[in-house]
Structure 1
Amino acid sequence: MLEFSEGAPCWVDAMFTDVEGAKAFYGDVLGWTFGEAGSEYGNYTQAYSDGKAVAAVVPPMPGVGAPSQWCLYFASPDAAATAGKITAAGGEVLMGPMQVGTFGTMLIAKEPSGAVFGVWQPGDHKGFEKMGEAGSYAWAEVFTREPDKPDAFLPQVFPYGAQQMDAGDDPAAANMDFKVFSVGGGGGHPVLGRMKMDDDFPADLPPYIQIYFGVPNCDEAVEKTKKHGGKLHFGPMDSPFGRFAAVTDPQGAAFAVIDMSTTVGEMPSFG
């Protein structure tokens, strides 16, 4: 069983008006299988990779017209205490804290620049049973036009250290404002990236958290995405971390796919 430190990403889920369509899409693109819908909890349906829980899909709550989007949850030993920190640091608690049977306690919040995230205090459901591999959660980054806001907010809510990427002599990275947050201080375990959105991003695109799912082959995942009616927004592109692409599924939920076995270039340094 995986253990999650406070502030570490521990789960992802998404609401879809067409849950069966989502299951067909992610089953093909990411190789997921799905469990039985939990009618007691709004038909919450877990997704599995190699028989291990990796995500969940759920229909919208009655009367909620929110767009389909993935939500990343960060682990907390005390969701109520984390809610207090979120508010004190200038964020907004949108829902909860709410106990979900014996599974755990959840809340949904928004950091000051506008990106939405979740917090999960585990009970019976600890979180990911597989991560960092094909078919599972690999990484996440906060995309924002106001990086100073999450940069100040996140370390007040979670025990994060932060390091800024040094562009070095790479002209492609010269104008890139990228920071990595780690659990256990600046030299600890990296858990989250933060990228400043530049003029290449649509002006009407709000801040968001980009979730990366591992795949065996990035290009094949992109072709499957397009075959099902999804869209390619960026890539495929090689990087020191893997070959990746940013896409949206047919219902408009954005995510990224990354083949972590195909790496190109030297790892950037962080100061």
Structure 2
Amino acid sequence: MVSQTARVRCVPATPCWVSLMARDLDEAQAFYGELLGWDFEPAPDRWGRYVHAVAGDEAVAGLGEASGDLALPISWTCYFGTESADQAADAVRERGGTLAVGPLLFDEGRVAFASDPMGAVFGIWEGPPGTARVLDVPGAPVWIELRTPDPFAAALFYGEVFRWDGRDPAHFEVRWEHERVVLLAEGRSVAALRAGVPEGGPPHWEVSFSVPDTDAAVKTAERLGGGVLGAAFDSPYGRVARLRDPEGGRFAVICPNR
């Protein structure tokens, strides 16, 4: 029985939610449900069918069905928490980014969609506050990484939009490690900005979901109709494989280092 109490928690300054807009929501649930062990529960459907993916009784991601009138690319979106969606949206425009949608009321909070000056798309989420934590359960998003030509310029942009400076270092910190600008929440690495755009694509935030065995997950993704975007490799944060779902949505799986 899926928990009906799973909620999205807003953690200011850090990535706190990920979502996918699919053309066929049933197909997406079948693929990700088996690959990542997700259950699903209905969620607010203000803009069409939408479900929460649940792992370990926690809402870990959202999946929605894109309108047939929209020819949008299928992709995962990373949302940053903020105390004020209006202030974050203003900061996006002031610092050379593009505000595409919002802020709009959604469920218990407010949401906006934007892109940074390099073109990487991200979301802004103002909602019920929560504490930063990394879920140690398979299927949870445990690593979010921006692939961009200039991670330092990107860090300045996101730092000003989400007010990274001046926060309590006991709860939030930005540091340079493993050739990346790394965000730490409650002492754990949760996201990074690094140089390079894979496969010649545009700058983007890449979402990595936890799996117990990366190589086994690759075989499962292929069996379910997904694709593999290069060989699995060992990173400072765990063994990683970059994949795509049957509709082309790109993501990664990682067996985290313990």
Query: TM-score, with normalisation over the residues of structure 2?
Result: 0.85
Q: Secondary structure at the match of 1:238?
A: strand
Q: Rg bigger for which structure?
A: 1
> In structure 2, the residue corresponding to 1:28 is in which secondary structure?
helix
Match of 1:174 in 2: none
Q: What is the alpha-carbon distance in structure 1 between the residues aligned to residue 182 and residue 222 of structure 2? A: 31
How many equivalent pairs are there? 244
Residue equivalent to 1:81: 87
1:46, distance to aligned residue in structure 2 (A): 1.0
Is the Cα–Cα contact under 8 Å of residues 115 and 207 in structure 1 kept in the other structure? yes
Tell me, yes or no, if the aligned pair for 1:52 and 1:129 is still in contact at 8 Å: no
SS in 2 for 1:20: helix
1:255 CA displacement? 0.7
Seen in structure 2, the aligned counterparts of structure 1 residues 41 and 85 have a Cα distance that, compared at 3 Å, is: same
Which amino acid in structure 2 is aligned with residue 179 of structure 1? Answer: V
CA distance in 1, matches of 2:51, 2:8: 20
How far, CA to CA, are the matches of 1:86 and 1:183 in structure 2?
Answer: 23
| Alignment partners' CA distance in 2, 1:14 and 1:252 | 11
Give unmatched runs, 5+ long, in structure 1. 167-176, 264-271
SS of residue paired to 1:22: helix
User: Which residue of 129, 135, 138 corresponds with 1:134?
Assistant: 138
Q: Distance in 2 between matches of 1:4 and 1:37?
A: 16
Matched, 1:114 2:119: yes
Unaligned runs of 5+ in 2: 1-6, 165-172
Choose from 175, 199, 206 the match for 2:202.
206
Letter in 2 for 1:178: R
CA distance in 1, matches of 2:69, 2:131: 28
Contact kept? 2:8, 2:59, Cα under 8 Å: no
The residue number in structure 2 matching 1:144 is: 148
Shift, 1:242, TM fit: 1.4
In structure 1, which of residues 15, 18, 21 is the aligned counterpart of residue 27 of structure 2?
Answer: 21
1:235 deviates by 3.3
**Matched residue, 1:267:** none
The aligned counterpart of 2:180 is 178
1:224 is the counterpart of 2:220: yes
Identity %: 31
Establish whether residue 8 from structure 1 lines up as the match of residue 18 from structure 2.
no
Shift of 1:62: 4.9
Q: What SS does the corresponding residue of 2:254 show, helix, strand or coil? A: strand
Distance 1:127 1:223, change over 3 A: farther
Q: How far apart in 1 are the matches of 2:18 and 2:8?
A: 15
Select which of 172, 176, 189 maps to 1:164. 176
Q: Secondary structure at the match of 1:26?
A: helix
